[in-house]
């Protein structure tokens, strides 16, 4: 009893010496939990805004100008709609989308260039989690134009950088130190990705493990990423429901153990492709960076090449096998 009394006395004396009350001390310890929940709300709403921008750009560019409506993602028998001009306007639209996004990015926020996940990791490790407020806005608009025009881009990278920017802006508003900012940056990333992909637990873990190339995790931030991702998933579900994006066909049943060999083979092949793809991606990126043309024009060149390659591929493969829809 005397030891407990002495420890409480020492704790109270320490708080008095530091000038903080028990309420202030408790608030300082648990405030990030509340902030993570708030970021989750913003992340869920931001995901809806980003999807709205994607759909708007697609209706204006790919559907409106090229007359091509891509198949819906997650369907078993995807079917596309081809307009009266066929597929030949697709290269025009992809080039236009690349040009518009290039002008936006390199004029207002050059750091929004490239894969957003890389930028998010760089901000966490080397910039104290700081991202200029204009970056999320430019990244959202440029990515929507790129994807909506049929460009080869997905949702993961843009969403990661946009969500990280939201966490950084929130930390600026609350005047938080860099350590707390870096935590909220991860919470923002988890929130945005959980809302987009409707996978709260997976994205909470993804946000703390994507930071390192090896088997390392930012374990101290996991509780905050879980809170943010679950809240964002719930908020997003109010608009689109809580069903997963990809549904497993009810007609598929596991009855033969020999099928596990095929799944294992698929996993091996996927692992090999996953190991090969990054060097190819960064090699192409470095090649484009070395081109002696203005940076504003480079995305348009990439869009033109992608569009020209897409036209024959759409003729060689059935509808839905090669699409322009975000994955």
Per-residue pLDDT reduced to its tens digit, 17-57: 445 676 766 776 688 899 999 999 998 898 888 889 988 99
Task: Provide the percentage of residues in the chain whose pLDDT is more than 90.
Answer: 22
Q: Is the pLDDT of residue 223 over 90?
A: yes
Q: Which residues of 248-275 are buried (b: 16+ CB within 10 A; e: fewer)?
A: eeeeeeeeeeeeeeeeeeeeeeeeeeee
**Cβ contacts of residue 20 below 8 Å, gap of 6+?**
28
Among 2.60.120.10, 1.10.3080.10, 3.20.20.140, 3.40.640.10, what is the CATH number of 33-245+295-316?
1.10.3080.10
In this prediction, residue 72 carries a pLDDT of 67
Q: Do 132 and 176 touch, CB atoms closer than 8 A?
A: no
Q: Are 228 and 257 in contact (CB under 8 A)?
A: no
In sequence order, what are the beta bridge partners of 68? 82
User: 193 with 2: CB under 8 angstroms?
Assistant: no
Tell me the pLDDT tens digit for each residue of 55-64.
899 889 888 8
pLDDT at position 319, please?
Answer: 39
Q: Is residue 325 scored above 50 in pLDDT?
A: no
Backbone angle region of 86, left / alpha / beta, with phi > 0 → left and psi within -120 to 50 → alpha: left
Residue 80: the pLDDT is 67
Report whether pLDDT(165) > 90.
no
Task: State residue 75's pLDDT score.
Answer: 59
Distance, in Å, from the CA atom of 188 to the CA atom of 232, rounded to the nearest integer, reads 9
- Among 81-95, 122-136, 185-199, 298-312, name the most confident range: 185-199
**In this model, does residue 7 exceed pLDDT 60?**
no
**207-211 mean pLDDT:** 87
Tell me phi and psi for residue 284, to 5 degrees. -65, -40
Strands (E), the chain: 68-69, 81-82
pLDDT at residue 73, as a whole number: 61
pLDDT tens column, 99-139: 999 999 999 988 888 777 777 888 888 888 888 889 888 98
Residue 68 phi, psi dihedral angles, 5° rounding: -115, 125
Which region among 199-203, 243-247, 270-274, 302-306 has the lowest average model confidence (pLDDT)? 243-247
């Amino acid at each position: 009893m005397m030891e407990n009394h002495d420890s409480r006395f020492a704790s109270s004396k320490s708080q008095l010496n530091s000038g903080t009350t028990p309420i202030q001390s408790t608030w300082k310890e648990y405030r990030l939990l509340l902030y993570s929940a708030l970021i989750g709300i913003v992340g869920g709403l931001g995901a809806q805004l980003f999807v709205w921008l994607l759909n708007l750009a697609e209706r204006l560019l790919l559907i409106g100008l090229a007359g091509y409506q891509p198949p819906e993602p997650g369907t078993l028998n995807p079917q596309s709609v081809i307009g009266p001009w066929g597929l030949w306007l697709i290269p025009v639209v992809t080039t236009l989308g690349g040009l518009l996004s290039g002008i936006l990015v390199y004029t207002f926020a050059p750091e929004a260039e490239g894969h957003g996940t890389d930028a998010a990791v760089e901000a966490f490790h080397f910039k104290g989690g700081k991202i200029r407020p204009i970056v999320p806005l430019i990244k959202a608009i440029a990515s929507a134009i790129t994807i909506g025009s049929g460009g080869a881009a997905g949702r993961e990278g843009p969403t990661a950088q946009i969500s990280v920017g939201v966490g950084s802006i929130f930390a600026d508003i609350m005047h938080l130190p860099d350590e707390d900012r870096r935590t909220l940056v991860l919470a923002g990333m988890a929130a945005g990705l959980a809302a987009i992909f409707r996978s709260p637990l997976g994205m909470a873990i993804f946000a703390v493990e994507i930071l390192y190339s090896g088997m390392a995790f930012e374990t101290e931030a996991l509780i905050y990423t879980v809170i943010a991702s679950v809240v964002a998933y719930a908020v997003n579900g109010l608009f689109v429901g809580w069903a997963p994006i990809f549904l497993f066909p009810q007609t598929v049943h596991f009855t033969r153990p020999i099928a596990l060999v095929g799944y294992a083979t698929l996993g091996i092949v996927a692992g090999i492709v996953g190991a090969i793809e990054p060097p190819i991606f960064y090699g192409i990126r470095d090649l484009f960076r070395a081109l002696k043309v203005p940076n504003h024009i480079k995305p348009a060149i990439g869009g033109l090449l992608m569009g020209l390659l897409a036209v024959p591929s759409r003729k060689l493969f059935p509808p839905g096998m090669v699409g322009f829809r975000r994955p």
